[in-house]
Structure 1
Amino acid sequence: MNSILEDLYYGRWRPDESIKSSNSRTRQINRQISDYMAIYKKNLTEQDFEQLEKLFELVGESNSIHEAAAFMHGFRAGALMMIDVFSGEKEVL
């Protein structure tokens, strides 16, 4: 079994790709998005639909940047908590 640090170094660990939502609302929303895209593809000109697809790509890129920032923030917060735990006063039970 590889270490997480080795997987991270070699690019085999991509937490953004391994997240699977168990929330049924997510599946419902994704289904609605697909339905709307099919409607837009049918009713819009090819050029207008391409612009809509580009908009979705930009929104996806923006979301990805935000997710990366949230991941780093959460990781840093967790590390700070561990520092606090290990450097805090030692309590005697």
Structure 2
Amino acid sequence: MRSLLDQLFHGNLCPDEKVVPNDPHYRQASRKTSETVEAWRKRHSEEEFDELEKLLDLYGQTHGMELASSFAYGFRLGAGIMVEVLTGKDELAR
């Protein structure tokens, strides 16, 4: 198996593609979302459904940005904790 640095260098680390929530309600919520979107498709005109899809796309974009920011913050926080643990100097991580 390749090292993490090697995988990162070659673009093989894609955390956003690998993460699946462990919450037991995730699959149920995901299925209900798909069913609800399909019900919208059947009940509304093509134009109305296109508007909904555009809204969902915008939400997906903003949510992706939030996830990326959360990931970066969590990574920095974890690295800061490791710096404090390894150096014993609390003020380094600020």
Say whether residues 1:22 and 2:22 are aligned partners.
Answer: yes
Task: Give distance in 1, aligned partners of 2:27 and 2:38.
Answer: 17
Deviations 1:23-64 (A, max 9, x none): 221111111111111111011110110111111111111111
Pick which of 68-77 and 4-13 moved more.
4-13
For 1:67-78, what aligned pairs fall within 5 Å after superposition? 67-78=67-78
Normalising by structure 1, report the TM-score. 0.87
Task: Give distance in 2, aligned partners of 1:35 and 1:68.
Answer: 27
C-alpha deviation, 1:21, in angstroms: 2.1
Between the aligned residues of both structures, percent identity stands at 35
Runs of 4+ aligned structure 1 residues displaced above 4 Å come to: none
For 1:48-63, what aligned pairs fall within 5 Å after superposition? 48-63=48-63
Task: Give distance in 2, aligned partners of 1:9 and 1:66.
Answer: 24
C-alpha deviation, 1:13, in angstroms: 0.6
Task: Give distance in 1, aligned partners of 2:51 and 2:9.
Answer: 37
Pick which of 21-30 and 56-65 moved more.
21-30
Unpaired runs of 5+ residues, structure 2, are 90-94
> Structure 2 counterpart of 1:16, which letter?
D
| Alignment correspondent of 2:92 | none
Task: Give distance in 2, aligned partners of 1:9 and 1:64.
Answer: 22
Larger Cα-atom Rg: 1
SS of equivalent residue, structure 1 residue 24: coil
> Structure 2 counterpart of 1:62, which letter?
T
